[in-house]
Chain A
Amino acid sequence: MIRRLLMRIFWSFMTLLATAVLTFLLVNVVPGDAAHLIAGPKASPEVIAQIRETYHFDDPLIVRLGHYLAQLAHGDLGQSYVTEQPVTQAILTRLPTTAALSAIAVVMWMVIAVPLGVLTARFRGSWFDRGTLIIATVSLSLPAFWLARMMQYWLAYKLGWFPVALFRGFGHLLLPGMVLAILFIGYYARLIHTNMCEVLESDYIRTARAKGVSEQAVHFKHALRNAMIPVVTILGMDVAGLLGGVLFVENVFALPGIGTLAVQSVFNLDVPIIMGTVLFSAMLVVFANLVVDILYRWIDPRIQAAF
């Protein structure tokens, strides 16, 4: 088991290394000159030359990649070209906002998706089930940016129920959290519905019903636990990959999280921050994979985990 765990960690490390190399190469072939960005539009050629030297911009790409990987090996993600803030610090100061937003969104969508999934399985084929399916399909197809803008416009700007933007406390995260939740509710409701339908057909449920267990207990106690096993796997991956949706939502609502940091860094050609945010999200996904594998075994002892 230890050997398999070590293999998993090794491949996780290789995935991160490949991500680092690929992102570095991609970012560096984008036309643009970071020296000019750092120096400002009215800088003299001497200043630009000076910056080139300081940041090794004139070195061949492979040499710069070597420098970068050596720096990474020391746990140093470098510092922002624009603000000169260390990348790790930039990410860590923004992590709480993104984490809080993600947590609010996950709680919102699970609180709504679980009962929806269970009830649509119980009343399968009813108007309630069909109506939920339609709503779920619509919510799945909504683009994050559009939905965020629409909800901001109607609920905050027009009706004034929420602040339009910025982060000045918990209340400022509710609307952005709702946007993210809506994007996922439909998918999770259907996922739980499908799993529930499958589980409700199984022998142990039939036995439970034969023993006179109430329908409520059958659904919420016996069936739901098994139906949730695949959901936990996907939830783990989705939380890690949530950064994609967060990126748009944070930008629309001007929340100071990792999503806005990533977008700003792309506009500013701030290579260390771009690299840092990409590596950070890759790390989250890789880590979530490992955690889900371990959790899986804990939730369902019948399953022999990958290690």
Chain B
Amino acid sequence: MIPKLARFSIALLLCARIALGAGAPEGAQPQAPKRGGVLRLDTSSDIHSLDPTAIYSAFEGIVGYMVYRSLLDFDQNENLIPMLAETLPQISADRLTYTFPLRRGVRFSNGREVVADDWVYSIERHLDPRNNSSYSNYYINITGATAFKEAREKEQLAGAASPRAPRTIEPKTVAGLRAIDRHTLQIHLERPDAIFSDVLATPVSFVVPREEVERLGGAFAAHPVGCGPFVLAEWSPGRSIRLDRNPNYFRTGEPHLDHVDIAIGPDAATEIMMFERGELDYVPMVSSADYLRLKRSPTLRNCMYPLVGGDVIYISLNCELPPFNDARVRRAMNHAVDKQRILKTMLNRGSVAHGLLTPVNKSYNEKMAPYPYDPDKARELLAEAGYAKGFETELVVAADSELFMKAALVVQRDLAAVGVKVEFKKIQGQALYIGQKRKTVSMEVWDWSPNFSDPEDTLNVLVNGERITDDGCNNTAFYSSDKVNRLFHMGSAEFDPSKRLRIYQRIEEQVFDDAPYLFLIQVDSDELHQPWLKGVKPRAIWPSRLENAWIDR
């Protein structure tokens, strides 16, 4: 199933982990898991929601996988495996119909059995605009999804206009979603979509019980009910979260832990001190401030698990606004910046990016070379484009992001050397989303972490011109190329792994040449695991999986 190059990428990733891990206690767990104990975690900021329509942060993902289960899942090598489906889907010859035989005897934590209707309901929830799902786009290709969504929108409008308006407008259900019987789910798509199975292995496909959602209404986000290994016992906002073992969990003997205690609030410095004092079992990320000290510590370096290339940092160059509507200017930007220097400021945790894909992506092409640092070439290209004397521009950057600010400072200095004067527009934290409004921002530092390893999840979002919208657009370069758009159509319908791989590599090559982004660096990070913590599945793609963890002491 996996393309050759993907296998190579995974092997590369593993080698890198072994090399960087310097004896990290990964993998070697000969003894049987011990039952009992408490896993102690922390998160600097509170969880926003545990409703699958709104789970998006890495930590929400970690907790989400503890409370819920999806139809499919990814194994250690990011290959698809069945989870609540009994097998991988049976896909029809026209690639439009997916049939899932469902695992029997799986129960929600309220005791009721999970049946095919629950999957229909859970997917429809994403498409119902009243739920404000962040993931409705992932399901819009299901036959009848658009009609269902529009009907619910009309109901909403009618309800707002008049209380006597009809309560239901046809169609009431999504035509392409069918519960054939209690244990068979069938999904019919409008067009072939090679990543549809991957979507069903992410938190987007967590199953929820209708009766609990309807009973709790908006409170479901804070009182989730799923069929995962744990149940949410207590959530004290801003303070702590406690998960207890789900007695109805379908896998005998799992989970191994009795409880999971999550403290909310510690910042990066406090978190590391707590870890070193043995007050935490796991830390999801090591900051640059602590990295070298931990790396040099004979004991703590063995607790570090490197995660290679889960994130790519770039600067969008708005292709709809001058001077970046000229490809020569965009290429000049890529030549003008010394990315190696950016990497140095980040203690060389990562590598120079040659595009938007990272080693975690299946079609990652390690043979592609980044734009060489060549200020003379940059000046030459600028002169060709009519900017021999340079120009002034504005760069939007999140002032509280250490990574973004370090990158922005190097970019500012290097661009000044070729005559481009960059003024920072500093924005606090997540307010950075302002940059996604069309024709307002020339340059913006941003990053991307894929949901799964298929390149479509990254490229389709960042460079598909057909997905440009006036607001809420992740293609922050507003880049559109007919050639690339055509390749996307081909790619999503191509199921042959090697052909598919080649299509996305062609997209990458074209995007590299058109340079809608100033490709900066791929970022590596590190997790910390206490020596007694076993069974964790570290992933560079969010989130790491801790639901099968156990304590060996």
Contact = CB atoms under 8 A, between A and B. Distances in A.
Interface in A149-194: 149, 152-153, 156-157, 160, 163-167
B91 to A, nearest CB: 26
Contact of B237 (A47, A93, A152, A251): A93
A261 B264 CA distance: 11
Contacts of B276: 157
A39 interface: yes
A267 B471 contact: no
Interface stretch (A62-70, A119-127, A216-224, A252-260): A252-260
Interface stretch (A83-91, A199-207, A225-233, A287-295): A83-91
Given A47-B136, A90-B238, A40 B56 contact: yes
Interface stretch (B78-86, B101-109, B379-387, B425-433): B425-433
Interface string A63-99: 0000000000000000000111100001001100000
A254 B46 contact: no
B434 interface: yes
A7 interface: no
Interface string A241-269: 00000000001111110001100101111
B46 A42 contact: no
A267 B400 contact: yes
Interface stretch (A25-33, A106-114, A130-138): A25-33
Interface residues of B, number: 54
A301 interface: no
Interface in B409-445: 425, 427-434, 436-437
A133 B78 CA distance: 65
Interface in B204-248: 218, 221-222, 236-240
A51 B129 CA distance: 10
- Count chain A CB atoms within 10 A of each CB in B45, B129, B238, B429 and give the residue with the most: B238
A264 B431 contact: no
Contacts of B427: 31-32
B239 A256 contact: yes
Given A82-B46, A83-B46, A32 B472 contact: no
A160 B430 contact: no
A252 B431 contact: no
Contacts of B474: 41-42
Contact of B429 (A166, A254, A269): A269
Interface residues of A, number: 51
A84 B279 contact: no
B134 A43 contact: yes
A44 B263 CA distance: 32
Interface string B38-59: 0000100110110000101000
B266 interface: yes
Contact of A254 (B48, B263, B469): B263
Contacts of A37: 430-431, 433
A49 interface: yes
Contacts of A15: none
A32 B430 contact: yes
Contact of B137 (A44, A84, A251): A44
Contacts of B132: 38-39, 43, 47, 50-51
B54 A45 contact: no
Contacts of A153: 273
Most buried by A among B132, B471, B474: B132
Nearest to A258: B238
B11 interface: no
Interface string B258-288: 0000011111011001101101000000000
Contacts of B170: none
Contacts of B265: 165-166, 251, 254-256, 260
A31 B133 CA distance: 25
B428 A266 contact: yes
A45 B140 CA distance: 14
B134 A42 contact: yes
A8 B328 CA distance: 68
Contacts of B437: 33
A249 to B, nearest CB: 12
A254 B267 contact: yes
A117 B267 CA distance: 37
A157 B273 CA distance: 6
A267 B45 contact: yes
B48 A82 contact: yes
A230 B40 CA distance: 48
B433 A165 contact: no
Contact of B279 (A32, A42, A163): A163
A45 B473 CA distance: 7
Contact of A267 (B42, B49, B425, B430): B430
Contacts of B75: none
Contacts of A50: 129, 132
A46 B264 CA distance: 32
Given A36-B436, A44-B136, A165-B266, A269 B431 contact: yes
B482 interface: no
A31 B267 contact: no
A166 B472 contact: no
B431 A152 contact: no
A261 B236 CA distance: 13
A164 B434 CA distance: 37
Nearest to B433: A36
B470 interface: yes
A207 B221 CA distance: 72
B68 interface: no
A126 B78 CA distance: 74
Contacts of B277: 156-157, 160, 164
B193 to A, nearest CB: 17
A266 B399 CA distance: 13
A16 interface: no
A296 B142 CA distance: 73
B155 to A, nearest CB: 13
A48 interface: yes
Interface string B272-311: 0110110100000000000000000000000000000000
Interface in B376-411: 400
A100 to B, nearest CB: 14
A258 to B, nearest CB: 10
Contacts of B451: 42
5 contacts: A85-B237, A152-B270, A252-B270, A254-B266, A267-B429
Interface of B: 42, 45-46, 48-49, 54, 56, 129, 132-137, 218, 221-222, 236-240, 263-267, 269-270, 273-274, 276-277, 279, 400, 425, 427-434, 436-437, 451, 461, 469-474
Given A36-B434, A157-B277, 15 more contacts: A30-B428, A31-B434, A33-B434, A40-B56, A41-B433, A42-B135, A46-B129, A46-B136, A48-B472, A165-B265, A165-B274, A166-B263, A254-B265, A254-B266, A255-B265
A-B pairs, 3 with minimum CB distance: A32-B431, A254-B265, A36-B433
